[in-house]
């Protein structure tokens, strides 16, 4: 009876089908498994529901919809123009900005179910999202600056729990705006041990006890950047595979995505065969590159590359356990994360044995519930007071897409200073991307190269920033907004350069 019940809930591709083999389950344990399964599937569905409602809201109010945004397909700017378009739509609705009136504030309730969100709830929630648009594909990611700074005024202690946890799926999920289905569905946001009540060591220990050791896995927490991909059989993409980084669909604006695609071109045959064999899965990788994308943990050059760290079904949100992830990777000869046969107490005892340069930590998987367990020395390096004031350190984390983890690990006394630097970086990034695209669109369609170069040379450019980027954009090369590669070295933008540009920008003619 237990087997039939779980099988009906699981379906053919759900990781819960592993529970079929457990014959010692009590009814309360079965109920807990069912609840976990429903929460996983529900949280995955709610983001699509939100997008559908938001589309309907804008369409009704303005005669426009999210399909309007695809008119901006030529604007290759990593999503900033998309967000401006959303602001334009909001203005057409004659609704106040999120520095909202008392009347609008009165209709905000963070405890609402995601299906019951009011207009004010949806406006506020949308204000903490950032987008990247590529044709009909819209990547959705939470805006870490808004979450950590602006939302404090609403008395939110834990932003991840609002509206039934809707924000947790906004971690570079990609929606097809034509079908309103997921094109890519990476891991939802998961947190550090002891970062929240349900992630406390006591709560996690109880969860392990309920699940049983057979359904507990520990993997290596690699210190790199997330890359995700799925086979769509679409000739617009590499081998028909849509590839995205954390926060971007554009290699021109994501160093990690550009480098990962270059790696796939030369060393991606095994990955191609693996991804094409399972078109219903999102393949989640960690990109390791100590030269162009340095992190705290040191990796030898022979270890650089893409490591498979997860698989997730885009239709129902189920994620595969690590043993199946590794078997899939090994079948095709693809690099993968390492799994340890350890207990929680053994993992906790091992943490002090590693320096921050040796190991970031572990990821605990308890029947699909993921927890980050980090080594104290690694955390100490992230919390270093001097590093928190270092603009160079902060811009590295922004570029790598892991700034939210870095901000979360900072002591309260240093967080605000770091957030101000992040805000300045985002402001510069948006301003430059918008200006580059505006100048690029002025080049006549079909203009020959000589004509285009002459027009680019005539661009007013008091800071010397824009011309080179427009030229790169025209030639189809990487537009390095925050980082530039010179030979084998990587150069990050200096704070003084950003201050100079932002100070002179208002003086430039339109």
SS3 (DSSP) at 155: coil
Mean pLDDT along residues 35-59: 67
Long-range contacts of 321-325 (CB under 8 A, 24+ apart): 321/15, 321/18, 321/215, 321/217, 321/365, 321/368, 322/217, 322/219, 322/365, 323/217, 324/15
Cα–Cα distance measured from residue 332 to residue 467, given in angstroms and rounded to the nearest whole number: 44
| CATH 3.30.470.30 domain extents, the chain | 185-374
Q: Closest Cα partner for 76 from 426, 424, 436, 399? A: 436
Helix (H, G, I), strand (E, B) or coil at 220: strand
Question: pLDDT grade, residue 238 (50/70/90)?
Answer: very high
Tens digits of residue pLDDT in 60-75: 544 343 443 443 333 3
Q: What is the pLDDT of residue 291?
A: 74
pLDDT > 70 fraction of the chain, expressed in percent and rounded: 73
> Residue 196: helix, strand or coil by DSSP?
coil
Q: Report d(CA 103, CA 121) in Å as an integer.
A: 12
Q: Is residue 21 predicted with pLDDT exceeding 60? A: no
Q: H/E element holding 307? A: strand 305-313
Over residues 428-485, the pLDDT tens digits come to 888 888 888 888 888 888 888 888 898 888 888 777 778 888 888 888 887 778 887 7
Q: Which fold has domain 185-374?
A: D-amino Acid Aminotransferase; Chain A, domain 1 (3.30.470)
Q: Which sign does the torsion angle of CA 404, 406, 409, 410 carry? A: negative
Find the helix or strand (DSSP H, E) in which 418 lies: helix 412-441
| pLDDT given for residue 481 in this prediction | 83
Q: Which residue has the tokens 């239709």?
A: 315
Taking only the tens place, the pLDDT of each residue in 339-358 is 999 999 999 999 999 988 89
Give pLDDT tens digits for 90-141.
443 333 333 434 444 456 777 887 778 777 777 777 777 877 878 888 888 8
Instruction: List the one residue out of 51, 85, 71 whose CA is nearest residue 430.
Output: 85
Is the pTM higher than 0.85? The answer reads no
């Amino acid at each position: 009876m237990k087997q039939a019940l779980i099988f009906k809930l699981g379906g053919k591709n759900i990781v819960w089908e592993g529970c079929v083999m457990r014959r010692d389950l009590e009814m309360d344990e079965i109920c807990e498994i069912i609840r976990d399964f429903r929460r996983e599937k529900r949280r995955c569905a709610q983001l699509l529901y939100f997008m559908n409602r938001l589309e309907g809201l804008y369409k009704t109010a303005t005669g426009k919809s999210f399909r309007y945004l695809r008119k901006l397909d030529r604007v290759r700017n990593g999503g900033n123009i998309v967000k401006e378009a959303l602001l334009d739509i909001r203005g057409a609705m004659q609704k106040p900005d999120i520095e909202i009136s008392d009347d609008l504030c009165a209709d905000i309730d963070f405890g609402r179910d995601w299906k019951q969100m009011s207009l004010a709830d949806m406006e506020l929630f949308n204000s903490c999202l950032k987008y990247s648009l590529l044709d009909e594909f819209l990547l959705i990611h939470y805006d870490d600056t808004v979450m950590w700074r602006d939302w404090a005024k609403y008395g939110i202690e834990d932003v991840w729990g609002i509206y039934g946890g809707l924000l947790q799926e906004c971690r570079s999920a990609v929606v097809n705006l034509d079908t309103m289905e997921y094109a890519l569905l990476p891991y939802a946001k998961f947190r550090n041990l002891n970062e929240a009540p349900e992630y406390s060591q006591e709560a996690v220990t109880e969860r392990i006890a309920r699940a049983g050791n057979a359904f507990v896995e520990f993997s290596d927490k690699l210190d790199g950047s997330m890359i995700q991909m799925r086979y769509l059989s679409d000739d617009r993409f590499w081998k028909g595979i849509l590839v995205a980084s954390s926060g971007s669909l554009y290699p021109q604006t994501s160093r990690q995505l550009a480098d990962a695609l270059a790696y796939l071109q030369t060393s991606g045959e095994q990955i191609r065969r693996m991804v094409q064999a399972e078109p219903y899965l999102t393949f989640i990788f960690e990109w390791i590159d100590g030269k162009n994308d340095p992190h705290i943990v040191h990796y030898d050059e022979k270890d650089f590359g893409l490591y498979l760290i997860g698989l997730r079904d885009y239709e129902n949100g189920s994620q595969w356990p690590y043993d199946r992830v590794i078997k899939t990777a090994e079948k095709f000869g693809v690099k993968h994360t390492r799994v340890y046969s350890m207990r929680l107490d053994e993992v906790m005892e091992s943490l002090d044995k590693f320096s921050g340069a040796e190991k970031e930590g572990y990821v605990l998987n308890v029947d699909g519930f993921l927890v980050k367990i980090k080594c104290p020395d690694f955390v100490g390096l992230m919390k270093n007071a001097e590093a928190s004031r270092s603009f160079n350190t902060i811009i590295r984390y922004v570029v790598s897409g892991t700034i939210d983890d870095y901000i979360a690990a900072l002591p309260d006394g240093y967080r605000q200073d770091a957030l101000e630097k992040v805000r300045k970086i985002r402001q510069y990034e948006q301003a430059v991307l918008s200006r580059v695209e505006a100048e690029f669109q002025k080049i006549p369609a079909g203009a020959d190269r000589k004509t285009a170069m002459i027009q680019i040379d005539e661009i007013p450019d008091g800071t010397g920033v824009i011309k080179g980027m427009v030229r790169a954009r025209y030639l189809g090369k990487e537009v390095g907004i925050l980082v530039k590669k010179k030979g084998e070295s990587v150069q990050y933008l200096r704070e003084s350069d950003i201050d100079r540009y932002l100070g002179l920008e208002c003086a430039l003619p339109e």
